Every structure is written in C-alpha cells, then in structure tokens.
Amino acid sequence: MVTGIAGMGFAAVTTLAEASGPDIPSIDDFLPEPALFAGTPFAINRIILVRIIATVLLIAILGVSAHRAKLIPSRWQGAVEWLIEFVQNSIVYEVMGELRGKRYVPMITTIFLSILVFNLCGIIPGFNIAATATITMPLAFALWCFVQYWIAGIREKGLGRFLKDELFPKGIPWPIYILLSPIQLIELLLIRPFSLTIRLFANMISGHLLVALCFAATQWFFIETTTKAQFPLGILTFAGGAFMTVFEMAVAGLQAFIFAILTTAYINMSLPETE
C-alpha cells in the first residue's frame, strides 16, 4: 500500500512539475558493470565482490568463534551455537530423524548459514544488494541439493528402485501412471531445483526493488523535488523503506530456513521408508 501511494506520488510529480522523477530502481541493478579485471573471464562486478566479502566474513566469524570456544560459553559463543543447534534440531532432525540426519547436518548448516549471510547483505548499508539476488548463486545451491538427493536415492535404494519408487508410487491404478510418471520425472529433474532457485532469487530481487523504490522516492521528495508540498509524502516513503528493511530481514531468515528445510525434505524423500 505504501508503495502504491508512493507510485501515485510519482505520477503527481511527473505531471505537475514535469521533472525527470526519482531514480526508480530497475532490473539493471542486478547486472552491474564489472569493477575489476573487466574484459577477462575473471571480471568481478559489485555483486561478486559482495559475495567474496560475505564469504570471508562468514568464515572469519565462524573460525574465530570456533577457535575461542570454551567449555563455559560466552554470550557470543552461545548465540553461534544456538544458530547451529537450530539447524541441527529444528531442521535436520525434525525432518529426517537423528539417525539419518547426522550425515547431512554439515551440508544443511553450510547451506543455511551461507544463504542467511548472503541474503542479509541486501540490507547491510554499503552492500545494499543481496549476494543471492542473481540466478547463479541460488542455482549453485540448488544443484548441490539436486546432486545430493540423487546420490542419496541411488546409494540407499539403487537407481532402478529409486526411479521406480519416484515415478510409479504405490497404491495408484495403472492408467494414472501414463499421466503421473512424466510429471514425476519432470518434477525430479527440473521442477525441484528450479523452484528452489527461483524462490530464493525472486524473493531477493523483489525485496531489493521494494527497499530501493522506497528510499529513492524518499530522496526525491526530501532533496531533489522543488515543490515542497510533497514533503509529507517523503516521510511516508521513508517509513515504508524502514518497514521494508525490517521485513527484508525477516524474509532473509525465512528464505534461508525454507531453502534448508526443502533441501532436507527432498533428500529425505529419496531415502527408503523404514519403521
């Protein structure tokens, strides 16, 4: 609603003052010019730079925390341990159970923590863009998940039985298989990895666009526009931007959680049913 009002504000500004209007963010934000090594295959643009810094930051934080770990945890160590135990207990063991889950805890923790930090880059001032906001990064994580659930299925069941269980679920009359099996195959090969990818990166793009739109409008209403009558609209867009920043923080956590829990669930579906 806030952006709707801001949008009406733009229309009013552009028709009344005939000015150029605020710097509305577009999809070009996600295709920045290379900053370093331009022209070579190792060209580094802003987003890749953010990724590198975020990775170094994550490794440094976890490395220092692990190096200084004591038997009686400090407050900081407690927080880091809480996060890791949250992944272990609330995501992996909750879905898979402890016996099976033990093997996948490191993988899911890596996925959760790196996606969380990469997503949070979107609201850290100075970075201002989520490292997962272009398709390559989520695709890399999704392909990791893809490879892992195929490996899990083939290792535990063998390729034939894995495909048979996935493509021809039990308890269904056979004519349905003509429709169902191709869908299941597409789901297994394409829909799972691509839905993981699109969910993450579209969330990050839309979040960035909303935050950037609110603050671009605020900049316009406060500083650039000549008609002072629109000053209150700037207060409104600023409040919207602040709200969207907090909302993005929640979305960053939620998307990392959803990616991790879906990866766990997909791997768990490949494993044979026991009990």
Q: Binding segment for another protein among 53-61, 173-181, 202-210, 217-225 (CB under 8 A)?
A: 202-210
DSSP string, 176-218: HHHHHHHHHHHIIIIIHHHHHHHHHHHHHHHHHHHHHHHHHHH
**Contacts of residue 85, Cβ cutoff 8 Å, sequence gap at least 6:** none
Residue 232 CB coordination number (10 Å): 10
**The only residue of 90, 155, 183, 186 in contact with another protein, by rule CB under 8 A:** 90
Burial class (CB in 10 A: 0-12, 13-18, 19+), 150: middle
In terms of CB distance, is 144 or 238 closer to another protein? 144
Find the shortest distance in angstroms from Cβ 106 to another protein: 21
**The only residue of 203, 218, 263, 268 in contact with another protein, by rule CB under 8 A:** 203
186 binds another protein (CB under 8 A): no
**The only residue of 81, 85, 94, 156 in contact with another protein, by rule CB under 8 A:** 94
Q: For the packed helices 231-270 and 136-157, what is the interaxial angle rounded to 10 degrees?
A: 20
**The only residue of 53, 198, 269, 271 in contact with another protein, by rule CB under 8 A:** 198
Question: CA–CA separation, 49 vs 53, rounded Å?
Answer: 6
**The only residue of 93, 177, 238, 257 in contact with another protein, by rule CB under 8 A:** 257
Question: CA–CA separation, 265 vs 145, rounded Å?
Answer: 10
5 binds another protein (CB under 8 A): no
In terms of CB distance, is 73 or 97 closer to another protein? 97
Q: Which residues bind another protein (CB under 8 A)?
A: 27, 90, 94-95, 195, 198-199, 202-203, 205-206, 254, 257-258, 261-262, 265
